[in-house]
Amino acid sequence: MSGMARKLLNQLKSKEFREYLMSTHFWGPVANWGIPLAAIADTRKDPSFISGKMTFALSIYSLMFMRFAWKVQPRNLLLFACHFTNECAQLTQGARFINYYYIQAENKTTEAKS
């Protein structure tokens, strides 16, 4: 076990890892994590505040950047994970939007007519 811990520590102290920490391959995705974290936090809020157009735009944005993160060399898996998380959060928000404005709204109008 200590050999594995020593190997991990040596990897963290390596020049390559320090260079990675000072690159845009690291700081770009770190700065981008605010978007999916905000979307996840918004899942607790009232769905009447959800913008369908913005949710759709952010879904397309994240899909495009997931592809970019996968295709760029070397692959940026941290950026991919960030946009995958955002895509899941935006799809959740989109489902909440559709449910609130289309499914529940139809039920309310049907009940009002009865």
Residues 33 and 83: their CA atoms lie apart, in Å, by: 8
State the DSSP H helix or E strand holding residue 32, giving kind and residue range, or none if neither. helix 24-32
Answer whether residue 1 shows pLDDT above 80.
no
Across 80-92, average pLDDT: 97
Q: Is 0.85 topped by the overall pTM?
A: no
In this predicted structure, what is the pLDDT of residue 15?
85
Q: CB neighbours (10 Å) of residue 71?
A: 9
Q: What was the pLDDT predicted at 6?
A: 87
For 54, other C-beta atoms within 10 Å of its C-beta total 12
* Of 87, 28, 30, 37, nearest in space to 63 by CA: 87
* Residues 24 and 56 sit within 8 Å (Cβ to Cβ): no
Residue 101: pLDDT over 80: yes
Residues 68 and 103: their CA atoms lie apart, in Å, by 35
- Distance (Å, whole) CA 77 – CA 69: 7
